[in-house]
Structure 1
Amino acid sequence: MTLRHALPLPLTLLSLVLLAGCQQEEPASAERSSSESASAKTAEVGDRRLKVAMLQPPRSGLNPLTDDAFKLSRWSTAETLIRLDDDGSPQPFLATEWEQLDPRTWRFAIRDGVTFHDGSPLTAERVVASLTAATQAAPKPRILDGVSMEIEADGDDAVIVRTAEADPLVPNRLSSPQLAIMSARAYRDNGTVNPIEAGTGPFVLETINGTQSAHLDRYEDYWGERAELAGIDADYVPDGTARGAALRTGEADVVEAVPVSQVALIDPERIHEVPMPRTNTLYLNTESGPLADPALRAAAREAVDREAIVRTVYEGRADVANGLLGPALRWADGLRSPVDGRPTPAAPDGASITLGTFTDRAELPEVAVLVEQQLEAAGFDVQQEVRQYAHIEADMLAGEFDAFILSRATMLDSGDPVAYMVSDFACEGSFNIAQLCDPEVEAALEKAAELAPGPERRQAIIDAEAAILSTDAAVPMLHERVIQGESVRVAGAIRDPRERELIDEHTRFIDDGGE
């Protein structure tokens, strides 16, 4: 009896001991499991690729000497000697320091330890070759309009930049994405430039799928901090409704230029709005057609109802234009005076004009409809032509339209509006849609260009703006705002008024979930 009852006792005690042991070990096991799960979660976040819906497809195969350079910059694959801070002041990038040796000569020290995506080193000779290719391109990058620049190596770790005329904005110019430094493999004998595996940024461009998409991977040997994303998958989505839908459904993590018409359909947490140096302008042909008559240009200017366009098309998400430069340049309004010298408007009497714009920015066709109505109410007979930008740019620049509506960045290249004004309104400007060549405008632009950055230059810029507006070659209608879409799972996407940056090495997912 005793023996029969004694046997279960040790078993019971053993069971209790084992159970106690299990109970003591369970928290450590759970903690280990939780830690492993968190590590796996972090690894998964770091291995995720970001999906971006871009506004416009490339126009030149992502040639960095064209406007396509801004895509390369926004993906952080191509880098320049200089970058600009939020105030537009130059900061070190691939150049670590610089000095002005005389009014025409600058010396830039080149960062050590940088490699291109093909493994070749960044050298002074490579910088010289890359910048020289830009100066010899046809057409030249906008930032070099009216600028003669020669570059030579100064030893192994610096370059000398000389300009034909004194130029206080050389560092700003070298921040233009169109002057990105690329490896030798990018430059082909036929004059084209292929950016695949040729940049120095935290992401390496691996694949270009025409006008459909591009794919980039993290560059593990980046000279700066390692990118937190595994890569970027960029799709070109010109249709604004489709971009809005991509944000709503999670098909895209970051979306460029969400149309105003889509904003109300999207969770407000995903919408980010920033005033930007971009002006929606009606350019008027000063060289040929009915609007070569200054009095008819004045009539067109008077016909445009800016407030109605902002209220109806932009649903109040834009700023009525007082000039070419908007609220993103906070100093502009305080320096302005009324524009003098404008001609008296004449009756259009049914003058027939062609009004053009493009579809890539969703609001522009709507603006064109409203402007057409306003011009016809004033007595013009208006015919519209609306195409994709790639299919209308050549005719636009050749002066084939009497009037053209364009959304134009006013500080895109140098962080200073003089470059934009020269490009759009100087006699030899490469983007002179209005075909303007006016002696007073030329003199005002030359004066502004010669001054060093500061209060005097700013006043000269506003004086040049007044000279341009007095010709009625351009009717500024409104200043746009950046409406950028971002998944709530994304952190560190850049909201850049100048549209130079979008994704960088710090952009990341904040967890491993979807929407």
Structure 2
Amino acid sequence: MSAVPTHRRPWLRTGAVTTAAALLLSGCFSSGSTDAGGEAADGRISLAMLQPPRSGLSPLSDDAFKLSRWSTAETLVVLDADGEAQPALATDWAQVDDRTWRFTVRSGVTFHDGTELTAEQAAASLTAATEAAPQPRILDGVDLTAVADGDDVVVTTGTPDPLVPQRLSSPQLAVLAASAYAADGTVSPVGTGTGPFELVAVDGTSGATLDRFDDYWGQPASASGIDVDFVPDGTARAAALRTGTADVVEAVPVSQAGLLDPELVHEVPMPRTNTLYLNTASGPFADPAIRGAAQAALDRATVVDTVYEGRADIAEGLLGPALPWAAEGRGELALPAAGTVPAGTAITLGTFTDRAELPEVAVLVQQQLEAVGFTVTQDVREYAFIEADALAGAFDAFILSRATVLDSGDPVAYMTSDFSCEGSFNISQLCDPAVDAALEAAAAAPAGPQRRALALEAEAAVLATGAAVPMLHERVIQGEQAGVSGAARDPRERVLITSETTAGD
């Protein structure tokens, strides 16, 4: 990968620093990307991001979401607020039969390397994703093929799949130039995307540089480029916003948000729910009445106010305010009746340390459960060392921060994974015929109002079992300097810097 050009402004590279060190470092780099008058120094945007690349910015990995947030790699379709597919590199599409879809590729699109977008190259990008090892998450369990036919890409699935357009919105299925794909299977997004910003350099896990692409097919970028720094330490990211070192800061920690100028902090509900999963197969929570007692014992407001400092939303269901249609369409929920907990009923409560708030949530949940008769033993580890035990049913209860719309933007996939008899992420060990029937009906429905209504019926079926107790919905906390305009505040965290984003007055 090429070296970083001299116009980049390198700053806080530290992966883990103390508060004092973060403040000291931020003072050393206080000039940032703005001058004394608040104007962007050279029309560029300085961006501080949470996680460095894990796979060399390969679009076939979770790094694809960075490429999407930088508006450098694009997909055939994008999603609107309701999760419906909208045109992007494809102008329209139609379902030919229950397994075949035809997408018309947009004309007049130029890749950053100067080659033209064609249906052949779009199909080749999709094929590369299907042949990758491991495959992109969006293709788990999906047998998909893509071939060019004139100006169209014909996509075929092994079984009927009403969500093909939504799947193709995943950043992991971005369409790149032929030059991106090496013979050894590696994929480089440097100079090979189609977006308004061209990725021109990557500095390992420290940062990246993007310049405006003047031949962009859509609205040209207002900013001349983006300078990205990866700053895993939350205190350092907050310091960058406080000192003006960064124009836009991703994922400001709850603990730091209250220390910043409120005018610079923006909160957006995200489709992520903090849920207490209860083991329905063995132990005390095999009894629905004991599950009901646990649910009744939880004081969600205390958790939100104490741990999240009010910067979260109390859960009314599995699906939160990031999906506005959920609250609008949800009826009254039937929850399991609460029984009496025999004194001293022993349970194990697990969670993980990777999300800083979860161990604190576990302390409050333990106190609330013990108040109604449970004796609670906690087991808190790093996620990598606890996931296998959680999936094997080793815990009576487990606290998880879980994304409720996965890559397709559809909550049915999440509920099927977590609560169906054959679900691959079934921490509750739930196997309920009514739940499976509701999930199967939702999965078979086409995208749109009918599918959303059936998804809410499936949610109600899950909650009626008491297998999951949704506690709160998390928020994206995003920092923006006063002079920043047009930064996207995206609940799905797919978009951040767009053609319209500028820094400075």
Place the TM-score, normalised by the shorter chain, in its bin: 0.7 to 0.9
Which segment drifts farther, 209-218 or 425-434?
A: 425-434
- Asked whether the 8 Å contact 2:45–2:227 carries over to 1, the reply is yes
1:327 aligns with 2:321: yes
Contact 2:335 2:465 in 1 (8 A): no
1:371 aligns with 2:365: yes
Q: Distance in 1 between matches of 2:387 and 2:225?
A: 32
Q: Quote the Cα distance in structure 1 between the aligned partners of 2:66 and 2:294.
A: 35
Check the 8 A contact 1:353/1:381 in 2, yes or no: yes
Which residue is equivalent to 1:125?
A: 120
Partner letter of residue 264 of structure 1? G
The 3 A distance-change label for structure 1 pair 102 and 395 is same
Q: Which of the residues 267, 272, 281 maps onto 2:266? A: 272
The one of 206, 220, 224 aligned to 2:218? 224
- The 10-residue stretch of structure 1 (88-97 or 139-148) with the greater mean CA deviation from structure 2: 139-148
Q: Call closer, same or farther: CA 1:385–1:192 in 2, change over 3 Å.
A: farther
Q: How far apart, in 2, do the equivalents of 1:145 and 1:182 lie? A: 21
CA distance in structure 1 between the partners assigned to 2:61 and 2:423 by the alignment: 15
Among 58, 65, 85, the alignment partner of 1:63 is 58
Amino acid aligned to 1:337: E
Percent of matched pairs sharing the same residue: 66
Query: 370, 379, 385: which is aligned to 2:380?
Result: 385
- Structure 2 residue aligned with 1:169: 163
Distance in 2 between residues matched to 1:296 and 1:62, nearest whole Å: 47
Pairwise CA RMSD: 3.3
Tell me how far apart the structure 2 counterparts of residues 260 and 135 of structure 1 sit (CA, whole Å): 38
**Whole-angstrom distance in 2 between the partners of 1:316 and 1:112:** 48
Q: Distance in 2 between matches of 1:179 and 1:404?
A: 33
**How many angstroms apart in 2 are the aligned matches of 1:69 and 1:399?**
32
Task: Say if 1:268 and 1:204 are closer, same or farther in 2 by CA, change over 3 A.
Answer: same
**Among 404, 415, 425, the residue aligned to 2:409:** 415
Other structure's SS at 1:481 match:
strand
Would the aligned equivalents of 2:359 and 2:380 in 1 still touch at CA under 8 Å? no
Out of 131-140 and 470-479, give the one that drifted further: 131-140
Give the aligned partner of residue 15 of structure 1.
none
- Say if 1:164 and 1:210 are closer, same or farther in 2 by CA, change over 3 A: same
1:197, CA displacement in angstroms? 2.9
Superposed counterparts of 1:24-103, under 5 Å:
45=40, 47-103=42-98
Give the secondary structure class of the aligned counterpart of 1:116: coil
Residue in structure 2 matched with residue 10 of structure 1 by the alignment: none
- Please, which runs of 5 or more residues in structure 2 have no aligned partner? 1-35
Match of 1:28 in 2: none
Match of 1:183 in 2: 177
Work out which of the residue numbers 345, 350, 355 in structure 2 matches 1:355: 350
- Paired with 2:121 and 2:272, the residues of 1 have a C-alpha distance of 34
- Contact kept, 8 Å, 2:293 with 2:338, in 1: the verdict is no
Query: Which amino acid is 2:59 matched to?
Result: P
Distance 1:102 1:71, change over 3 A: same
Residue 284 of structure 1 deviates from its aligned partner by 4.0
Whether the 8 Å CA contact 1:278–1:408 is kept in 2: the answer is yes
Higher helix share: 1
One-letter amino acid matched to 2:64: A
* TM-score, reference length from structure 1: 0.80
1:461 CA drift (Å): 0.6
Deviates more, 1:391-400 or 1:253-262: 391-400
Matching residue of 2:399: 405
Residues 120 and 76 from structure 1, CA distance in 2 versus in 1: closer, same or farther, beyond 3 angstroms?
A: same
- Taking a change above 3 Å as real, the CA distance of residues 183 and 309 of structure 1, as seen in their structure-2 partners, is same
* Distance apart, 1:435 and its partner CA: 5.2
Question: How does 1:153-164 map onto structure 2 within 5 Å?
Answer: 153-155=148-150, 157-164=151-158
Q: Please give the secondary structure, in 2, of the residue aligned with 1:463.
A: helix
- Displacement of 1:324 in angstroms is 0.4
- The 3-state SS of whatever aligns with 1:380 is strand
Work out whether residues 46 and 228 of structure 1, in 8 Å CA contact, stay in contact via their aligned partners in 2: no
AA of the residue aligned to 2:414: Y
Do the aligned partners of residues 477 and 220 (structure 1) sit closer, same or farther apart at CA in structure 2, a change above 3 Å counting? same
Listed as ranges, the matches of 1:481-492 within 5 Å are 481-492=475-486
Verify: 1:506 aligned to 2:494, yes or no. Answer: no
Match of 1:110 in 2: 105
- In the other structure, the counterpart of 1:4 is none
CA offsets per residue over residues 284-330 of structure 1, 9 Å max, x none?
A: 45567776776665554444321111121222232211110112333
Distance 1:191 1:443, change over 3 A: farther
1:352 CA drift (Å): 4.9
Q: Indicate the residue corresponding to 1:35 in structure 2.
A: none
Q: Does 1:237 align with 2:231?
A: yes
Give the structure 1 partner of residue 29 of structure 2.
Answer: none
Correspondent of 1:463 among 457, 460, 463: 457
**Structure 1 range deviating more: 411-420 or 445-454:** 411-420
**Greater CA drift, 442-451 or 487-496:** 442-451
CA gap of 1:61–1:370, structure 2 versus 1, over 3 A, is farther
Distance 1:71 1:432 in 2: 29
Shift of 1:347: 4.1
Alignment length (residue pairs): 468
| Residues 229-238 or 181-190, more deviating | 181-190
Scaled by the length of structure 2, the TM-score of the pair is 0.81
- Tell me which amino acid in the other structure corresponds to 2:501: T
CA drift of 1:444 comes to: 1.7
- Distance in structure 2 (CA, Å) of the matches to 1:280 and 1:354: 14
- Residue of structure 2 equivalent to 1:449: 443
Residue type at the aligned position of 1:144: L
| Deviation of the 1:425 alpha carbon | 3.3
Whole-Å separation in 1 of the counterparts to 2:256 and 2:127: 44
Residue 79 to residue 270, structure 1, CA distance change in 2 (3 Å)? same
* Distance apart, 1:478 and its partner CA: 0.7
The yes-or-no answer on 1:151 pairing with 2:175 is no
Question: Match of 1:385, SS?
Answer: strand
Q: Secondary structure at the match of 1:490?
A: coil
Cα distance in 2 between the residues matched to 1:137 and 1:396: 28
Deviation at 1:257, TM superposition (A): 2.4
CA distance in 2, matches of 1:228, 1:403: 50
Contact kept in structure 2, 1:109 and 1:159, CA below 8 Å: yes
1:77–1:202 contact (8 Å) kept in structure 2: yes
Check 1:444–1:194 CA distance in 2 against 1; reply closer, same or farther (3 A cut).
Answer: farther
Residue matched to 1:21 = none
CA contact (8 A) 1:298 1:346 kept: no
Q: What's the offset of the Cα at 1:502?
A: 0.4
SS of 1:492's partner is coil
Q: Distance in 2 between matches of 1:347 and 1:295?
A: 11
**SS of the residue 2:218 aligns to:** coil
